[in-house]
Structure 1
Amino acid sequence: MEVEITSKECIKPSSPTPPNLKTQKLSLLDQLMPAVYYPTILFYPMNQSTGCACSDDVEYSQRSQLLKQSLSETLTRFYPFAGKVKDHLSIDCNDEGAYYSEACVNCSLVDCLDQPDLSSFVKFVPLDSTSYRPTTGDHVAMIQVNRFACGGIAIGILVCHMIVDGNTLSVFLKDWAAMACKVDEATCPNFDAQTIFIQNEAFSSAKTAFSNPFVRSSTRRAVTRRIVFDASAIASLKAKATSLSVQNPSRVEVVSAPLGKCTMAAFKATSGMQRPAFISHAVNLRRRAVPPFSESSMGNFVWTVGALCSMDDDEEIDLPSMGRKLREAITKINGDFVKNLQGDDGFPNLSEIMNFKHIAFSNAASTCEMDHVAFTSWCNFGLYDIDFGWGKPMWISHSGTSDDKESWIPNVILLMDTKSGGGIEAWVWLDKKDMLMLAQDNELLAFASLDPSPLN
């Protein structure tokens, strides 16, 4: 598959950003996030249009113009997305615009998705997201519209994780689509997170110290696979994971438990030893605060919780116990916890929490290396409702790792909704040898499909 860039430009906000909003400071929670880009790709077939009799070229031109115009109008409210990284503490909201490119793909959309080559998907986003990390002067948001030979399109979006979490991205995309459809549901995004979770310039050293127990040197590269659980499989897993302590496990919990368990088994198979593992999960703080923060609160309103899993070589961990560990960790994130991170006391309280965890995990890893599996969920964000006027997406994807580029840190699992509803699609990044063992795990494959075509 070849992807040829045909145009490049910057889409500026339709109205200038007020002078008092020209600098967007990172919040304390933003400072927790790695400086990477989020890649997201939305696939739309051409034949979802409303019976337009014009030629494909004319119809694509109309779509292209609509995307640009509506993006310009959306950026007026989401003004940091039209800016650039100023330094590790702030965004320059200079109205230079979101980077925007268009490209032609020399195959049909169906051929691309029949047996998708995930490593090639980096061609659908403006930069290779598996290696590119934003630095001073880089765009906060970058978009590439890819036109397939059949007329279908893939909209590839990169947004800077420094000020964008999954919820923020979904709000932005849904607002862009609503603007394209001229639906009077404009969001009023709130970018005041830095006044709630006050940044601290000394935070970088604390974050580095906290991450040390999880860093293991490796010359090998991560590979990407998709593991898909349909609604019936999740119902079966829910029955297995239900216990007295977790009587109504969520979709995310019942999928995370077997994935965590089977990934630990893969680590053991490749290393020959049972290492302790920290199974972490990202939690959306908007819904945990009292009163809750609005879904239109922009930035990173995320905290990572986790369970330290350690067992003897002859001990097996079951799904209920794994689910219980995750539920106990998530339940601790309540209104009081969120309140303690706010205001002038936020950083001291955060440092105390991280120092306590650092000591606990360092002790656990003192006799051997410790594994880390990081889960994050984009479920229930309504991404499959994003309609720019020609129908809902047929598939929403991330991008795989490229063979000739630096990969993301491995041992990351992103959970997304399936289009059919009720299912979960897990994007898994693991070391190549670990992935080989995971892909052969019969316990996992009894409930999930490995790399199924999104066309099915």
Structure 2
Amino acid sequence: MRLRYRFCRTGRFVTKRFVFEAKAIAELKARAISSSVQNPTRVEVVLALLAKPIMAAVNTKSGSHKPTFLTHAVNLHRKAKPPLSEHLVGNIIYYVNTLCTDDDVEIDDLVCQLREAITRLNGDFVKSLQGAGGFRNLCQEIKDEAEVYTEVKDRILFTGWCSFKGFYDINFGWGKPIWVSVAGFGGSTISIYPYIVLMNTRLGDGIEAWVNLLEDDVNLLQVDKQLLAFATLDPSPLG
């Protein structure tokens, strides 16, 4: 529990929605290609682009960059050998951390770091969490990381729902939805760490990023020129 609250921030949290269309994502993917990552995913490039201005906004008050965890929720169903059934009840996820010490990191370097962190969650890792000693191994993994990175005080959590299918096919009797969204904050004063939810747009080729930050941090983010060159701030879902 101490690890969880170490990253919490207290204040007025608000939610903003940034939409990345297919053309912008294609350009980001082209920029993110490197010798280490030849096929960056949509989620990787959007996450990398968002991370830079968010880290800059979060660190503005301190006047200097502080090491930050970029934490990504990973679905372990597909990481197991053989893959676990997608129909199992419950969320079988694990949070991987990418330590970012420079908020001016290039997008291709950041995509590479994110890919390396996620790749570590292979079949052997999932196997170590199963069986009688699985919970103990999980606790030890979390404890070891907490002890190594005691100087890290900030975390930005990303969770991607883009691989979840069927949101726009749900029909409760009055037709399929024209827009699917997540719950957000409207200026509530709470203690939580910044987090971002990535979802598909209605046509499935774009990404909506639901960004939850302290109000002052969001005010800086929504005027960031590099971000707005690829994303549109809160466009109408009816367009």
CA offset digits 1:49-103 (Å, max 9, x no partner) = xxxxxxxxxxxxxxxxxxxxxxxxxxxxxxxxxxxxxxxxxxxxxxxxxxxxxxx
What is residue 42 of structure 2 aligned with on the other side? 251
What is residue 401 of structure 1 aligned with on the other side? 185
Q: Verify the 8 A CA contact 1:278 1:307 in the aligned structure 2.
A: yes
Q: How many angstroms apart in 2 are the aligned matches of 1:411 and 1:329?
A: 20
What is residue 430 of structure 1 aligned with on the other side? 213
Q: Verify the 8 A CA contact 1:401 1:408 in the aligned structure 2.
A: no
Q: Verify the 8 A CA contact 2:18 2:231 in the aligned structure 1.
A: yes
2:61 is paired with a residue of what secondary structure? helix
Q: How many angstroms apart in 1 are the aligned matches of 2:190 and 2:15?
A: 10
What is residue 387 of structure 1 aligned with on the other side? 171
- The normalised TM-score by structure 1 is 0.50
What is residue 107 of structure 2 aligned with on the other side? 319
Q: How many angstroms apart in 2 are the aligned matches of 1:381 and 1:212?
A: 29
Q: How many angstroms apart in 2 are the aligned matches of 1:215 and 1:390?
A: 40
Kindly indicate whether residue 7 of structure 2 is the aligned counterpart of residue 214 of structure 1: yes
- Relative distance call for 1:423 and 1:341 in structure 2 (3 A) is same
1:109-188 mapped onto 2 (5 Å cutoff): none
- Relative distance call for 1:452 and 1:270 in structure 2 (3 A) is farther
Q: How many angstroms apart in 2 are the aligned matches of 1:408 and 1:380?
A: 29
1:28-43 mapped onto 2 (5 Å cutoff): none
How many residues get paired? 238
Q: 2:148 aligns with which of 353, 360, 367?
A: 360
Structure 1, unmatched stretches of 5+, are: 1-207
Structure 2, unmatched stretches of 5+, are: none
Root mean square deviation of aligned Cα: 1.6
Larger relative contact order (CA 8 Å, sep ≥ 6): 2
Q: How many angstroms apart in 2 are the aligned matches of 1:237 and 1:385?
A: 29
CA drift at 1:275: 1.0
- The normalised TM-score by structure 2 is 0.94
What is residue 97 of structure 1 aligned with on the other side? none
What is residue 122 of structure 2 aligned with on the other side? 334
CA drift at 1:249: 0.7
Kindly indicate whether residue 73 of structure 2 is the aligned counterpart of residue 282 of structure 1: yes
Q: Verify the 8 A CA contact 2:155 2:193 in the aligned structure 1.
A: no
- Relative distance call for 1:419 and 1:407 in structure 2 (3 A) is farther
Structure index of larger Rg: 1
Q: How many angstroms apart in 1 are the aligned matches of 2:93 and 2:175?
A: 31
Q: How many angstroms apart in 2 are the aligned matches of 1:425 and 1:229?
A: 6
What is residue 198 of structure 2 aligned with on the other side? 415
CA drift at 1:387: 2.6
Amino acid at match of 1:361: Y
Identity score, percent: 49
Q: How many angstroms apart in 1 are the aligned matches of 2:144 and 2:5?
A: 14
